[in-house]
Amino acid sequence: MYTEHFGLTHKPFNLVPDPAFLYLSPNHKKALTMLEYGLMSHAGFTVVTGEIGAGKTTLIRVLLSKIEDDCVIGLINNTHESFGELMTWVLDSLEIESTATDNAGRYRDYINFVVEQHAQGRRVVLIVDEAQNLSVQALEELRLLSNVNIDSDIFLQLVLTGQPELIEKLNRPELVQFAQRIGVEFHLKALSYPETQKYIEYRLEVAGVSKKIFSNEACAMIYCYSEGIPRRINNLCDFAMVYAFADGKSEIDVALIQDMIRDKKSTRIV
């Protein structure tokens, strides 16, 4: 709607994760480096946490584009119990064909697959996004999957991303063995105010325009209401650009942000 109005080639503030628009703040760069290091160092378990909308899924998508051909990747992002049992998710994510009707048979098929890949010089990397939704029992099952690793021979690497609740779960006494196997861990923080302004300007530049659209004061207000969480920033900036388009404005100032926030609050969905 507003892309032509602002001279953009793409919509800059989509809520869907898009690696092309990834702004590597110092914290996001560290998080990506830790993910890459976890794979390169053959860490059995790598855990990255962050608030909702902090950019974890986008980092995973960037990581996937960098993984070498000697890795077989399985990605699980439907982690709620209603989607089925863990072993079913694991087999589906790794495209392992199994006719087994029980978990013991599925586990055997999984072991055979992982061992076969290792014999061919490939590592299996299982990535679990939104891992905070996993029950304590499911997390323990994940740990048991790593028992295929023997001494320095890493057959399977696990990468978990999740919200801060994941940290709370992993600190529970029942999961002490899981926690002890975590080789790399990192918490992704929200953006600071200067980073928020750079984030907004970077995404606009990637979308095809380098001129200033959001005033410094408007960026400051967006930072206050978003608390530096990228997904919230996207939501607010997207609405602000719609408002500016509706008003025929080419720049976004504090007054426009105030009007938008006032309207959003009236809907009781903020």
- Please report the domains of the chain, with CATH numbers, ordered by start residue: 3-16+191-266 (1.10.8), 26-188 (3.40.50.300)
pLDDT in tens, the chain (270 residues): 789 899 999 999 998 889 999 999 999 999 999 999 999 998 989 999 999 999 999 999 999 998 888 899 999 987 776 556 888 899 999 999 988 888 889 999 999 999 999 999 999 999 999 999 999 999 999 999 998 887 677 899 999 999 999 999 999 999 999 999 999 999 999 999 999 999 999 999 999 987 899 999 999 999 999 999 999 999 999 999 999 999 999 999 999 999 999 988 877 655
Contact 232, 196 (CB under 8 A): no
